[in-house]
Structure 1
């Protein structure tokens, strides 16, 4: 690889390459060489920007977490429109059809990465915790609009929905679940609290 060629937005290029390797080959195949080869750049490009490979992976995870955080306002803004089940189905599909399932596998498989991420996410698994917070925020907005029962235990419903979504989408190599299957699961979880006509 030539080392004198300037790479525009190398950080994002490396992140996208890491996602491709992760999605295609899984967490065990994710190495600095695999990432730089996929990105079409010299290995030194990664090591000049990050202290080590776990620092790179931590930044990748945090960047993807920030993307979920950005979706929170959009989902919350949908409160009062459409059906609660449809909004949740779309939100879960959006999260889990992305790289989230692969990121969870990566975090679980690398002790050094998990240790670094504990600085910002002291409990739980990054990505899943933020996704649960996104769902909880939406459910709270729907409860304020009386489309969810005032007695609904949002702190239990949100992680239940995330766990359900994760299980539905967990087979990285298989066919993703159909929207109808995701909606059925969502409807079952929220059946006792939805107050829509």
Structure 2
């Protein structure tokens, strides 16, 4: 690898490389060498920006969580439009068609990464807990608008929707679920609401 070449936004470049490897080859292929080769930089670049590889992975996971914010804002803004089941189907499909499912596998795969994440994220899997918050806020807005029952338990519905969607999308080797299958699951969960 060439050295002495300035890399613009090295963190972004390294995170992009990690995401591509994770999606293409899974968590077992994610090594510091694989990331730097994919990013086209010297291995020292990663270690110049992060204390070690697990620190890099923790920042990568937290960066992925931050990228949920625009999705969450768009979902909240959709309250009162379309159908609740349709909005949720689109939201969970977009979420789990991204790197979210692969990040769950990565966190499960690496004990040291889980330990690092616990330092700043005390409970749950960061991507999934942020997704639950996104869904709960949306459902609360829809409840306030009267589009779901006033007594709907959004704190139970949200994790149920995310858990179900995660199970639908969890198989990295098969075809992703069809929109109709996701919609059917969302509709079944919302049936009492």
TM-score (norm. length: structure 2): 0.98
Cα drift, residue 69 of structure 1? 2.6
Cα drift, residue 5 of structure 1? 1.1
Residues 10-89 of structure 1 aligned to structure 2 (within 5 Å) = 10-89=10-89
- Listed one character per residue, the Cα deviations across residues 127-185 of structure 1 (whole Å, up to 9, x for unaligned) are 00000000000000000000010111111100000001100100112111111111011
Cα drift, residue 38 of structure 1? 0.7
Structure 2 residue matching 1:119: 3-state secondary structure: helix
What is the distance in 2 between the residues matched to 1:36 and 1:174?
Answer: 28
1:116 aligns with 2:116: yes
TM-score (norm. length: structure 1): 0.96
Residues 92-131 of structure 1 aligned to structure 2 (within 5 Å) = 92-131=92-131
What is the distance in 1 between the residues matched to 2:120 and 2:149?
Answer: 33
What is the distance in 1 between the residues matched to 2:75 and 2:119?
Answer: 27
What is the distance in 1 between the residues matched to 2:121 and 2:188?
Answer: 30
The match for 2:6 is 6
Structure 2 residue matching 1:175: 3-state secondary structure: coil
Cα drift, residue 88 of structure 1? 0.1
What is the distance in 2 between the residues matched to 1:93 and 1:120?
Answer: 27
The match for 1:173 is 173
Cα drift, residue 80 of structure 1? 0.3
Q: Which runs of 5+ in 2 are unaligned?
A: none
Which runs of structure 1 show a deviation greater than 4 angstroms over 4 or more consecutive aligned residues? none
Structure 2 residue matching 1:127: 3-state secondary structure: helix
What is the distance in 2 between the residues matched to 1:71 and 1:2?
Answer: 38
What is the distance in 2 between the residues matched to 1:169 and 1:54?
Answer: 26
Cα drift, residue 104 of structure 1? 0.3
Structure 1 residue matching 2:173: 3-state secondary structure: coil
